[in-house]
Structure 1
Amino acid sequence: MRISLNWLRELVDFTMTPEELAHTLTMAGFEVEDIEDRRTWADGVVVGKVLSCQPHPNADKLRVCEVDIGAAAPLNIVCGAANVRASLYVAVATPGTYLPNIDLKIRPTKLRGVRSEGMICSLSELGLAKESSGIHSFDDEDNLELGSDVRPLLGLDDAILDITATANRADALSMVGIAREVAALAGATLKLPEAQEVSIAAKGTGLMLKVEEPQACPAYIGTVIEQVKIGPSPQWLQRRLQLSGVRPINNVVDITNYILLEWGQPLHAFDRDRLQVVAGKNSLAIGVRFAQQGESLKTLDGQTRTLQPQTLLITANDKPVALAGVMGGEETEVHEGTQNILLEAALFDMMAIRRSGRSQGLRTEASARYERGVNQAELEIACRRAIGMIAELAGGLPVVREIADARPNQSAWTRSIELRLERVNQILGPIDLGEDVGELQAPDIERILTALGCQVTPAAAEKVWTVTVPPYRYRDLEREIDLIEEIARLYGYDNFCDDLPAETEAGYISVDQQLTRKLREALRAAGLTELVHYSVVKPEADTKIIIRNPMFSEYSALRKDLISGLIDAFQYNLEQKNGPLNGFEIGRIFWQEEDGLMEADSVAGIIGGDPTLGKWTRSGREEPMSWYEAKGVLDNVFQRLGLKVEYQPDRRDERLHPGRTASLWLQGDRLGTFGQLHPQLRKERDLPDAVYVFDLDLDVLLDYLDRDENFIPTFHPYSSFPASDRDIAFFAPSQVYVAEIEREMTKVAGDLLESVELFDEYKGENVPPGQRSLAFRLIYRASDRTLTDEDVESVHGKVREALRDKFNVTLRS
């Protein structure tokens, strides 16, 4: 909001400079975005009178003028304006004047051989207009003093502060609100404008109020004012509106805008006779309701708007005439021929106006104030003030006044809060007293709160007060902590000590965070891209957790796993011709149990497509990733983390292939699932032939990595002696897992066995039914000697015997 300091000085006595006031308001929590000091725009520009105006001897479009500025001798000025002539009173920039808006310093010079000792100014050169067709002349020459400063005449003796108030300070969107704040900060006297009592000339009939939505419109005051004379507003009113960034229109509309700026209360003036034409009856019923499907309204900006069910309307005999609290209708606007008006002063619900404006894509000065909350206690004051100004400046005579008021009694517009001195000092800490520090004292707190308009009453307990909040601060002063914040603001944040606590320690990340980062690095190193999805998803048939108040109906459920989102992302990338997406996500999932809602962090990934880059060796043909290639990507991650994970067949997830899915186990704990997407699901989603997913329990993973033997790397000595390898092949029952075979080999061979690797599996011809052919390579090595054939054969024989005895295998080699 733009604040005129001259206007502000009429409401509160203060002596601060614009810079000092801006600093004071900034320290009190208001953001001063800009200081527009208009006094510098015409410093050195004075009133002058053109005594004579002669053509320039050497230029057709120039004039040589003698201008009296009250000095001993008139100035000789060359002027190129077409409207310059003798006897005009003009604004003259004297030599040495700097005009910042055109970046020009006036110096005596010669123009086409003729001496020029100044410049006759236009409004654009003084910063008051974007373009000017000629010089500016003053109309009221009788009261002008030659040589006097032109700034008071043009409103350039003022400074403007552009202030942004926080969302909770709706009262600060008005001159009265800022004046109250400045009075409290500066300890100055407040002089609020008086509102005269309204006297109705005659109890007229023909006006009724029909508020169908009292919750959306708690109060509505309609006043019919007759014998109005529409015309331009006086210069002082136009100038104040212009300084505030509002374009003057006519006296009635300007008055409603003026009250909006002064009190923060939006008003609207209807043409009474046009309302009657729209209503189509002798009687007029002004209503407030929500729009119906198919209704439309042409607003003041000339646009015909299709109304939505959440759009709040003002109606005349149930016909829409305005968007309540947002913008009026063009059909009933005040115009040059208006003689009778209906003045609307109303309170509208914040949420109703926000939804209404959003449905139409509109946000106006009026709706901005309604959305933050208009002061309920001063509605009548703003209305009376507007009626008085209309009577004074437009000759209006109020004849009918109707009120629909569903507000609670006045006691509901204020509240009492208990405030403790001990709590104030506990929250705010010590204050800086120069060479010493201290605490806020009771007189300081009472002075500050009284300055804010609060009533401070000592309670029964010592150093405890009962603070009654004024109505205009009802919306943002709700608790004790709010009062403490106000005390800090007005006492000055910069007056409190800023010492750090005595004991501090360096920041750090937790062990879980370190391990999670390590997991991310391992997944990225395996070639997977990290993905992030919303925790809210589209509701599905089997979704158990539905959000009661979702922002969007499309996202109204909590996700139960990460795999669904990864499949959607994989499909989207294919549809966008970006190729297969190999990625992972670490996020939170939710599920319902008997004890209530549960949540945990999970890790999931998706792998698919052709893993090779160049396909020219295959004539450009795609080669789907095999199950073992995808498993190798996951094994690479486990290897980097030092995990020994076992794979066992699994058929629990219906989205995965029943014969190509494994559960993952880590030292007896279920870690997760890895498998290929079910062919039916791939067909429905139009996905490639082979797409694989994994889902890991992050808690199990972090618990294992957090153990000392795993968290702290341990050095294992390596042997400098050569290794000896042996192969073993056999027929084994199909139901025997490879992990069980490897575990038995490691147990029997003991420390001499360095590694076991499966390098061949075969099913088919020459293999007994219900069995498969497996071939392993075993690497033997000792740390203290070179193994002999006898050493190796002895251990290798034990391995063969153990496999035959435990798994009933048939040895082939």
Structure 2
Amino acid sequence: MHINTGWLRDYLSADCKESDLLDALMTVGLEIEEEHHLGQALAPIRIGFIREKKPLAGADHLFECQVEIEKGKLITIVCATAHPVEVGWGVPVAVAGTKLPSGALISEGKIKGTLSQGMICLDGEMGLIARSTGLQVFEDEATLGASLPSVAPLEESLVEVSVLPNRPDCLGMIGVAREVAAVLDMELKYPSARELNSAGAGDAVAVEIADDSLCSRYTCQVFDSVQVRKSPHWLQSRLQTAGLRAINNVVDITNFVMLEWGQPMHAFDFDSLKGNKIEVRRIKEGETLKLLDETEVDAKEQPLVIADGEKPIALAGIMGGADSQTTAESKRILLESACFDPVCIRTSSRKLKISTDSSYRFERGTDPNGMLSGAFNRAAELLQDPELAGAKPASPVTDSYPNVKQPTQFPLDAPRISKILGAEITNQQITDCLSKLEMTHDDKTISVPTWRVDVNNPVVLAEDVARLLRYDSIVMKPMVATTTKGRYSEADTLRSLIASFLTGNGFLESRTPPLTTEQTALAFSQWPGESIQVQNPISKEMTTLRQSLVGSLVEVAERNARRGASSFRFFEIDRTFRENNSENDERWMVGGVLGGPINDAAWIARESEIDFLRAKGLLENLLAHLEVEQVTYTNEEPALGYRVEEFAVISHDGERIGALGRIDLGALGIKDRARVPLYGFELDISTLLKGRGPARMFAGLARTQVIARDISILVPVDLPYLEIERSLENAFAAAVDNLEAEPRKESEGEISLQPKLENVVCIDTFVGESVGEGAKSLTIRMLFRDANHTLTSGEAQQLMDFVVKQLQSEHGAVQR
């Protein structure tokens, strides 16, 4: 939004310094994106004298002018008749290459075969409010070639501001002036306007609102004796400073009032309407509407329209219709002002891909009370101005307002404001501050005008008080409350532990988008649920919320492979999404992909590559680090993306916590650029939290020697090692209960032995003809000790014999 400070001053009760005015704009809370002090920004504009003028061949209303911009130097400028120019006039000239404060860049170009080397600038085109006729004319030849600001001092600025979405009241000059006046301790000077009940002699236009939730208020009135012509220069220049072009006086008035009040308006050619009736409704099946920009709208998207007695005549809140627009032949017009639902207008604008200044304001919310009434009465008065259109009211005002919106009231007093701001604020200060913003305040309640749509909490009012008192005037003081020590949640702590472990093992943490293709979203997921589709995807590669992190990490590995990488270790901790029983299932997961050489820094000989067992060992170490014990790995039917022969489901106490497997790129239709086996894993963090054991306690160093014993057994080849290990541990515990201690020389009485099995390791496995078909040979090393007594060889043998006997009984194991 462009703001000319000269125009802004029209609504302030007193004058002030330009620097104070610009500082006030910043204090209001508007985001200033560009600021042009026109006295400096227009320095490249030079005074040139027109030495020759003739009609441009082959073009009506265009003239070819020879303009002297410095002594003896003439350039050719093609100009239109937007403002008459005469030979001998000195005028502001922007030569090719000059950039105007509005952002327009002047460049050379041929018009009807004639090269134009610059532009004769009107005041509005330079960002200025029109002086006199809108074109500054100089007669003193001594000004030839001089910079415009040096000849005509300029005190205005052109500021481009970004209005926050929650402050639609600042999308008009009056809204901005209200805030500035409050900051500068001035009064807001409203423009003159007639009363809303000003009526004409004809019949009132009937208004029917089909759904008052989509259109809360609609006001209109017919005017006749309208003289459609070019707008005066003061009006044209104000539109030009805001980036709008002048069309005709009627359209320019509605645009001017929109910029002034922030309330969009429209003027229909009343003679083109059928029936003395207006309907605000959804477009009907079979109806079409041709807009001002020649776009045709049908019933496909069901937009809200304004219709006469027979057909749609405008796209509500967005753009008028071509058949009902005001033209030079219009004699009677219907002036309308309305308030539409922001969501409805935004939805139609996005679906139809039509965005206008009007829709921009309606999407953010307009006020059905003060802003609408003020804008309508202002436009009606300007239409009746003889200098503008000389119109006369031809009907009473029709004001359809089914449910009047009342001002919002909040309980608020000085103690609460003081507590929020941390300073002593009195009721009088609150009243003084908020009354400047046209709010009313008693000792306990504040009534907020309906144009302040952002005020949904008393804290917003506290901010208003603080900025009007000026933040820097509030005395800082120490906090009264005692500070508390922050802490991480259990989930955050677990995520931190996982990330620390994986980065310590050479993994790189990745961050990938949660949106992916439908095929990738369905791959690798080990949990039930339907995929969640995005209704309005930004691309075909981002249509579905992912159900697994592994798919995104595979894409990361493939991108790195295309750039020459040979080692892959990536992980990500983030959420996955699925739909279960019509409810969204959102889970925090840790996923990883690894592959390539075990040690890619080896230089003597090439290291072996990561295989399934090494990947499994990594996960076992991770789970041990997280104190998740008694974990099992079982082979089941994998999800899409994993190979059957190298896949395991990870469980704890019968509950699935994750999966590990070799990635099958062929099943996903992805070309294998890594050229090494890739393995993926994924763990559910919520189930890991439930499976974590108690924190490990410190134990002192053992005083006795550990006993190591190996057993070699033959077992069926299909017997899982996990079952053997569990049987061995149970057998050892039973052996301890039956252990007979041998006498010690240094001990006079009986001793109690309680050896503990510290570790079980399979150190060798063999399958071949020598062990027979259907069998395998395992060598298992057991490490155990008693904390108080060193075990004798006989006691150790008792334990081993019992364990072997139990393995023979349970699994048919044969000792070798």
**Considering the TM-score relative to the shorter chain, is it more than 0.5?**
yes
- Separation in 2 of the partners of 1:139 and 1:657? 81
- Separation in 2 of the partners of 1:642 and 1:489? 53
The answer to whether the aligner puts 1:415 opposite 2:394 as a matched pair is no
Aligned to 1:399: 394
Aligned to 1:229: 227
Q: Is the 8 A contact 1:391 1:397 kept in 2?
A: yes
Which residues in structure 2 correspond to 1:38-57 (within 5 Å)? Answer: 38-40=38-40
Aligned to 2:181, what secondary structure does the other structure show?
helix
The answer to whether the aligner puts 1:776 opposite 2:779 as a matched pair is yes
Aligned to 2:657, what secondary structure does the other structure show?
strand
Aligned to 1:33: 33
> Which structure 1 residue ranges, 5 or more long, are not aligned?
54-60, 66-75, 94-98, 104-120, 131-135, 431-438, 459-464, 556-561, 615-622
- Separation in 2 of the partners of 1:738 and 1:82? 99
Aligned to 1:390: 383
The answer to whether the aligner puts 1:738 opposite 2:729 as a matched pair is no
- Separation in 2 of the partners of 1:385 and 1:85? 33
Q: Is the 8 A contact 2:628 2:693 kept in 1?
A: no
Which residues in structure 2 correspond to 1:444-483 (within 5 Å)? Answer: 444-458=429-443, 465-473=444-452, 475-483=453-461
- Separation in 2 of the partners of 1:231 and 1:167? 36
Aligned to 1:6: 6
The answer to whether the aligner puts 1:565 opposite 2:548 as a matched pair is yes
Which residues in structure 2 correspond to 1:545-694 (within 5 Å)? Answer: 552=535, 564-566=547-549, 586-587=573-574, 603=589, 605=591, 628=613, 631-638=616-623, 645-647=630-632, 664=650, 672=657, 674=659
Aligned to 2:266: 268
Letter in 2 for 1:357: S
In 2 relative to 1, CA 694–353 (structure 1 residues): closer, same or farther, beyond 3 Å? same
- Separation in 2 of the partners of 1:36 and 1:704? 64
Aligned to 1:377: 369
- Separation in 2 of the partners of 1:177 and 1:527? 55
In 2 relative to 1, CA 634–22 (structure 1 residues): closer, same or farther, beyond 3 Å? same
- Separation in 2 of the partners of 1:200 and 1:456? 35
Deviation sequence 1:353-377 (CA, Å, 0-9, x none): 1111111112211112112222211
In 2 relative to 1, CA 290–92 (structure 1 residues): closer, same or farther, beyond 3 Å? closer
Deviation sequence 1:711-768 (CA, Å, 0-9, x none): x8x896899x999774512336948812314424765695697652153265999769
Aligned to 1:339: 331
In 2 relative to 1, CA 699–416 (structure 1 residues): closer, same or farther, beyond 3 Å? closer
In 2 relative to 1, CA 601–301 (structure 1 residues): closer, same or farther, beyond 3 Å? closer
Q: Is the 8 A contact 2:596 2:678 kept in 1?
A: no
Q: Is the 8 A contact 1:756 1:779 kept in 2?
A: yes
Which residues in structure 2 correspond to 1:119-198 (within 5 Å)? Answer: 123-124=120-121, 128=125, 156-197=154-195
In 2 relative to 1, CA 80–235 (structure 1 residues): closer, same or farther, beyond 3 Å? same
Aligned to 1:214, what secondary structure does the other structure show?
coil
Deviation (angstroms), 1:249: 1.4
Q: Is the 8 A contact 2:595 2:678 kept in 1?
A: yes
Deviation sequence 1:518-568 (CA, Å, 0-9, x none): 31344463769757675999999x988999xx974999xxxxxx9953576
Letter in 1 for 2:497: K
- Residue 469 (structure 2) aligned to one of 482, 491, 500: 491
- Separation in 2 of the partners of 1:487 and 1:272? 47
- Separation in 2 of the partners of 1:52 and 1:670? 93
Letter in 1 for 2:250: V
Deviation (angstroms), 1:229: 1.8
In 2 relative to 1, CA 233–705 (structure 1 residues): closer, same or farther, beyond 3 Å? same
- Residue 211 (structure 2) aligned to one of 210, 213, 216: 213
Deviation sequence 1:190-238 (CA, Å, 0-9, x none): 2211212465443148x54343333212222332222222211111111
Q: Structure 1 length normalisation: TM-score?
A: 0.70
- Separation in 1 of the partners of 2:98 and 2:663? 74
Aligned to 2:351: 359
Q: Is the 8 A contact 2:804 2:815 kept in 1?
A: no
Aligned to 1:400, what secondary structure does the other structure show?
coil
Aligned to 2:739: none
Letter in 2 for 1:265: Q
When structure 1 is superposed on structure 2, of 597-606 and 186-195 the one drifting more is 597-606
Letter in 2 for 1:698: I
In 2 relative to 1, CA 208–509 (structure 1 residues): closer, same or farther, beyond 3 Å? closer
In 2 relative to 1, CA 644–414 (structure 1 residues): closer, same or farther, beyond 3 Å? closer
- Residue 811 (structure 1) aligned to one of 801, 811, 814: 814
Aligned to 2:445, what secondary structure does the other structure show?
strand
In 2 relative to 1, CA 5–153 (structure 1 residues): closer, same or farther, beyond 3 Å? farther
Deviation sequence 1:629-658 (CA, Å, 0-9, x none): 653453353466576544265879999999
The answer to whether the aligner puts 1:309 opposite 2:301 as a matched pair is yes
When structure 1 is superposed on structure 2, of 182-191 and 693-702 the one drifting more is 693-702
Q: Structure 2 length normalisation: TM-score?
A: 0.70
Which residues in structure 2 correspond to 1:233-252 (within 5 Å)? Answer: 233-252=231-250
The answer to whether the aligner puts 1:203 opposite 2:202 as a matched pair is yes
Aligned to 1:472, what secondary structure does the other structure show?
coil
In 2 relative to 1, CA 515–726 (structure 1 residues): closer, same or farther, beyond 3 Å? same
Aligned to 1:313, what secondary structure does the other structure show?
strand
Aligned to 1:247, what secondary structure does the other structure show?
coil
Q: Is the 8 A contact 1:663 1:673 kept in 2?
A: yes
When structure 1 is superposed on structure 2, of 361-370 and 521-530 the one drifting more is 521-530
- Separation in 1 of the partners of 2:92 and 2:517? 70
Q: Is the 8 A contact 1:27 1:493 kept in 2?
A: no
Aligned to 1:224, what secondary structure does the other structure show?
strand
- Separation in 2 of the partners of 1:456 and 1:341? 42
Q: Is the 8 A contact 1:661 1:675 kept in 2?
A: yes
Q: Is the 8 A contact 1:224 1:399 kept in 2?
A: yes
- How many aligned residue pairs are there? 717
Aligned to 1:565, what secondary structure does the other structure show?
coil
Aligned to 1:760, what secondary structure does the other structure show?
strand
Deviation (angstroms), 1:597: 8.9
The answer to whether the aligner puts 1:80 opposite 2:58 as a matched pair is no
- Separation in 1 of the partners of 2:569 and 2:447? 62
Letter in 2 for 1:756: V
- Separation in 2 of the partners of 1:582 and 1:315? 63
Aligned to 2:254, what secondary structure does the other structure show?
helix
Letter in 2 for 1:19: S
- Separation in 1 of the partners of 2:649 and 2:44? 87
Deviation sequence 1:563-620 (CA, Å, 0-9, x none): 95357658989999989998766456799999x9998955464779999999xxxxxx
Aligned to 2:418: 425
When structure 1 is superposed on structure 2, of 150-159 and 634-643 the one drifting more is 150-159
Q: Is the 8 A contact 2:317 2:362 kept in 1?
A: yes
- Separation in 2 of the partners of 1:141 and 1:752? 105
- Separation in 2 of the partners of 1:762 and 1:364? 78
Aligned to 1:413, what secondary structure does the other structure show?
coil
In 2 relative to 1, CA 743–686 (structure 1 residues): closer, same or farther, beyond 3 Å? farther
Letter in 1 for 2:548: G
- Separation in 2 of the partners of 1:717 and 1:446? 77
Aligned to 1:760: 765
In 2 relative to 1, CA 31–317 (structure 1 residues): closer, same or farther, beyond 3 Å? same
Deviation sequence 1:301-342 (CA, Å, 0-9, x none): 333445543411122334232211111122332223333322
- Separation in 1 of the partners of 2:358 and 2:163? 16
Aligned to 2:258, what secondary structure does the other structure show?
helix
